[in-house]
Structure 1
Amino acid sequence: MPSVSDNPEMVPDLQNVSETKKRNLTSLLPSLLHLPKNVYLLLFFTTGKGMQLTIATLTVNLYAHSLGYHPDFIGVFSAMPAIGAMVAALPVGLLADRWGRKPVLIISAILTPLFLMALGLVTSAPWLLIFSLLQGLVSTAYWVTNLPLLTESTTERQRVGVLALNSFLLLGVGALGNLLGGAIPEFVGHALQVSADSTVPLRWGVITAAIFTLVFGLPLWFLHEPARTAEKKAKPSTELEKPEETVAVSRIQTVKLFGKLLLPDLLFTMGEGAVVALMQLYFVLRFQLLPGTLGIIFTISGLAGGIFSLTAPLFVRRWSKLRIITTVQYLSAPLMLLIGFAPTLPLAIAGEYTRSFARTLIEPVYAAFAMEQVSSRQRATLSGLYSVTWSIGFSIGPTIAGWLQTQISLSASFVFGAFCLLICPSVLLFFFGRRKSGRIEGNSPGVV
């Protein structure tokens, strides 16, 4: 291949490209530095939400275990928030469209910490399940309203950068909550002269998670409801001009395509839910770790995984999205087995870190792949359905995992998770592996 020096005519082109990139960068940075007040308020709340999620993830299941409950109950207990989210997603979305995003988000910011605090105070099984379900119900409002509010509060140039920053604050910075989730029970246990994994220290960990949501949610009162353009509900003219038979066939094709996209995602979330939801409890039961050590382990995992996810565009430039997704999922299956059967703690940690890196790498790639398979007017529907499959997967997965850990062994849940992660990419390849481009009626080509 000839070099640039061999062809002088190529030099000005490269210089123009370089100058264009510099101009785009210099015009993009000010747009991200001068954001509307709404964006700063929402990003601030996202930071607190991320901290709340990681502190609660670390302490809530351990709190239930300190009360004497076994993994089979804790598996059902862990599934309650996902069940609540599945039940509430559509009603909360309709409510937000009618009342506005701001009041619904504020109500969630008030009720979520109240129910979470109540969860940390009760001890009986029925009340634990009830408050876990209610906490999942009201928390749904954040997932339903946050991204639309950010989208409506930003310009097209700002939007991608702001959404990426929101994701990093939730998953990356939020991972620091693991440190607090481990340190608080250690501190309280030392002050009370009791073990850090006993009920009272862990209760304070759950209460701290609730306080984070409450405090970081206070500035939301200053949020302004963005003006939204009413969408026309009439069918597109191109669809009205088609014969009824053609429209019916198009709808059937759409339903089939949605099924092909959602079935693998359901399998994936079942496998992830079976492992991730009970991961902290597994490390405690298998290696007798205290909350402080556990917090450090998962803080490093979350931060490193969040940073590693930023490399996803580099992989997409080299390989197709489908190849990245399926390869990572196939590799994740033996990693789950490694964690579940690791004879030593360092080996289990190495497996968990590698699994976490792989998981965060394909998160944006999977989303982009799915959105590219459908037309722009179908993407909102598909996104909502993905929320449902996530809720179902993280309801069924932990329930099965808890039963397997109680009735068979701690490692059995990892076998189930690995099996799901082997089936998922196989189904994806069966549906999309032979396609060079995906097109349904009115779609743009899918990049596979």
Structure 2
Amino acid sequence: MISRRRPEPLALGASIAALLTRAAIARADGGHAHGPEASGPVPLAVWLVGIGLTIVVALVVVRQARHGGEYLRRIQGFSRNARLLLIRTPFSGLSVSIWRLLFYLYLLAKGHDTLFVAQLASINWIAHGLAVIPAGILSDLFGRRRVFLVAYAGNIVGTAALIVVGEPTALLALAAVQGLFEGGHAIVGPPFMVEQSRPDERVHLFSIGGFLTVGAASLGNLLAGLLPLALGPLLGLGAEQAGTLRASLLIVLPIMLLSAIPIYLIDERWQAIDIRRWWKSLESYGTIGMLALTEGGAGLALGMTAPFFNVYFARELGASTAAIGLIFGAGSIVTAFATLLAPLVVRRLGRVRTVAFLKFLGVPFLVLIGLAPGVVTAGIMYVAAIILIGGAFPSKGLTDPIYSLFSMEIVKDRERGTTNGVMHAFSEFPMGVGAWIAGPFMAAGNWAMPYYLAGAVYALTFVAFYLYFARVESARAVVAQSVSA
């Protein structure tokens, strides 16, 4: 018997196709790109293929959800708190992706130069890095939920202020405030997901969480490209004007509020620990130190590139906001579904080899973004780099959920919040330094140099990661076999 409700996804897909096609046609011939790829209908053709693939993927997801499967059965077995964390994940990915794509373009549209944008990004990331270690310690002492709710409330206020304020000095100060509060709630995710799951379901929980984050980011990137096209005519402004971009950014605030509700509903029965007992419980100094060095190298490399992908596409390659949103959305969509394959790769290679090999494989694509002659080539390189390496949250790579899980499993329970805080600090602080390094190169028009430097740093980082943690994983496997025997 054929259900009458089956055509609904097709109708929805057709509606989305019509909207995205109009946006693509409106921007395809805008003369934004330069170089040999800028001529003719090639960008439009590429965009239409991307739109078609997006719709096909969406229909496959709907079909798979109806017929069930391993992931659906796993979700049904998760605890209430774990499911609440998964419910929050799409809202977080959606809000951050819209913000990350549009905010720097908004600053450029207001007349700020590239160097100012780099300085603001640097201050934001450095403040973020300074906050996460204290926040991680506080979460170990007083609980994840309490620290998150306080910090996230401050983050919402700081984000709203950045949209409203226009004076440069005030913007820099508010970027620091927003970074501090972002650091306060960034520590909740991985430790809490480990604590709310069984060992046999963690790979799937982290993979599903990564899939939802990146899937929501793909939708956010597409919306970020389409919102200016929709709001511009309503406001009597062009799609690339500052007023239109600011109106688009306001959409982020209610989404952020929605993302806080699942955390508020979590039932966390945290047992307070005395700070002296907490200090004595820290033992995994070598492991935490190596994780910190790994994050430091990766953060420095990403800081020179990831915060400015949209600026590079807009300023150097001349891409429109709609085109950038479509490219970024395509990267997120492909990565989201690649993330679901991570458990299969882990079974064959193990956690450490999966992370190290795939990250290292992405380095050439990262470097080639800065050497691309036009939007199409840069877009292809960007998608490949995002899949294998990832970017600034929520643009996670294929292996990032596995890496997060591994880092939480190899330390003690009471060290997880502190470990996550240290990792974030050694990621975000170097990201700020990387942004500061990249700023003068971008201002001088030398866009390739940050990508060269980032590729070299990234390669060295994950060679060191593999050399250290391959032995740790082998030792853990031997211990596990001994216990099971």
TM-score, with length taken from structure 1: 0.78
CA gap 1:70/1:113 in 2 versus in 1, 3 angstroms? same
User: Distance in 1 between the 2:472 and 2:201 partners?
Assistant: 34
Q: C-alpha deviations, 1:17-71, integer Å up to 9, x for none?
A: xxxxxxxx99996673266654454433322111110000101111111122222
Mapped contact 1:32–1:158 kept (Cα < 8 A):
no
Aligned length: 405
Q: Report the Cα distance in structure 2 between the residues aligned to 1:335 and 1:28, rounded to whole angstroms.
A: 31
Q: What letter corresponds to residue 109 of structure 2 in structure 1?
A: S
The separation in 1 between residues aligned to 2:191 and 2:286, in whole angstroms, is 27
Farther-moved stretch of structure 1 (374-383 vs 308-317): 374-383
Deviation at 1:269, TM superposition (A): 1.8
| Cross-structure match for 1:356 | 386
Residue from 324, 329, 341 that aligns with 1:294? 324
Change (3 A) 1:76 1:417: same
Q: Superposition pairs for residues 9-408 of structure 1, below 5 Å?
A: 32-33=75-76, 38-96=81-139, 100-150=143-193, 161-218=204-261, 221=264, 223-229=265-271, 255-359=285-389, 360-367=397-404, 370=407, 381-408=418-445
Aligned partner (choices 412, 421, 425) of residue 458 of structure 2: 421
Contact conserved, 2:191 with 2:416, CA < 8 A, in 1? no
Rounded Cα–Cα distance in structure 1 between residues aligned with 2:188 and 2:471? 37
Match of 1:6 in 2: none
**So what's the TM-score if we normalise by structure 2?**
0.72
Aligned to 1:243: none
Contact 1:270-1:394 at 8 Å conserved across structures: yes
8 Å Cα contact 1:375-1:444 kept in structure 2? no
Retained in 2: the 8 A contact 1:28–1:157? no
CA distance in 2, matches of 1:202, 1:26: 41
Identity %: 24
State the shift of 1:161 in Å: 4.3
Q: Secondary structure at the match of 2:452?
A: helix
Shift of residue 320, structure 1, vs aligned partner: 5.0
Aligned residues of 1:402 and 1:413 also touching (Cα < 8 A): no
Q: Is the 8 A contact 1:84 1:134 kept in 2?
A: yes
Checking the alignment, whether the CA contact within 8 Å between 1:275 and 1:414 is kept in structure 2 is yes
Contact 1:112–1:210 (8 Å) recurs in 2:
no
* Shift in alpha-carbon separation, 1:285–1:145, aligned structure 2, 3 A: same
Q: Distance in 2 between matches of 1:159 and 1:436?
A: 17
Give the direction of change, closer, same or farther, for the CA distance of 1:316–1:131 in structure 2 (3 Å limit).
Answer: same
Q: Which of the pair has the greater relative contact order for Cα pairs under 8 Å at 6+ separation?
A: 2
- CA-to-aligned-CA distance 1:215-261 (integer Å, 9 cap, x gap): 4435655x25422345688889xx99xxxxxxxxx97xx54554444
Q: For the Cα contact (< 8 Å) 1:297–1:349, is it kept in 2? A: yes
**Which AA in structure 2 matches 1:213?**
M
Please say if residues 372 and 444 of structure 1, whose CA atoms lie closer than 8 Å, have aligned partners that are also in contact: no
Q: Is the 8 A contact 2:207 2:401 kept in 1?
A: no
Distance 1:319 1:162 in 2: 19
CA contact under 8 A between 2:142 and 2:270: conserved in structure 1?
no
Between 1:64-73 and 1:370-379, the stretch displaced more is 370-379
The root-mean-square deviation of aligned C-alpha atoms, in Å, is 3.6
Cα pair distance change 1:412/1:194, threshold 3 Å: farther
Q: Could you tell me whether the CA contact under 8 Å between 2:86 and 2:209 is conserved in 1? A: yes
Aligned-pair distance for 1:121? 1.5
The amino acid of 1:178's aligned partner reads: N
In 2, Cα distance between the equivalents of 1:106 and 1:380? 16
Aligned-pair CA distance for 1:148: 4.7
In terms of mean alpha carbon deviation, does 210-219 or 278-287 score higher?
A: 210-219
Q: Structure 1 residues 30, 231: closer, same or farther in 2, change over 3 A?
A: farther
Amino acid at match of 1:136: G
Which protein is bigger by CA-based radius of gyration?
1
Distance 1:95 1:64, change over 3 A: same
Indicate the SS of the match to 2:240.
coil
Give a deviation string over 1:173-227, Cα, whole Å, max 9, x none.
2321111111112222233343322211111122111221024435655x25422
Q: Distance in 1 between matches of 2:195 and 2:405?
A: 20
From the superposition, tell whether residues 52 and 325 of structure 1 become closer, same or farther in structure 2 (CA, over 3 Å).
same
Q: C-alpha distance in 1, partners of 2:355/2:371?
A: 25
For 1:152 and 1:158, the matched residues in 2 are separated by 12
Contact kept? 2:126, 2:432, Cα under 8 Å: yes
* Cα deviations by residue, 1:361-384 (Å, 9 ceiling, x for unpaired): 232343455556666665554333
Q: Partners of 2:146 and 2:411 in 1: how far apart?
A: 32
SS at match of 1:361: coil
Q: Which runs of 5+ in 1 are unaligned?
A: 1-24, 241-249
Q: Which amino acid aligns with 2:398?
A: L
Report the CA distance between 1:273 and its aligned residue.
2.1
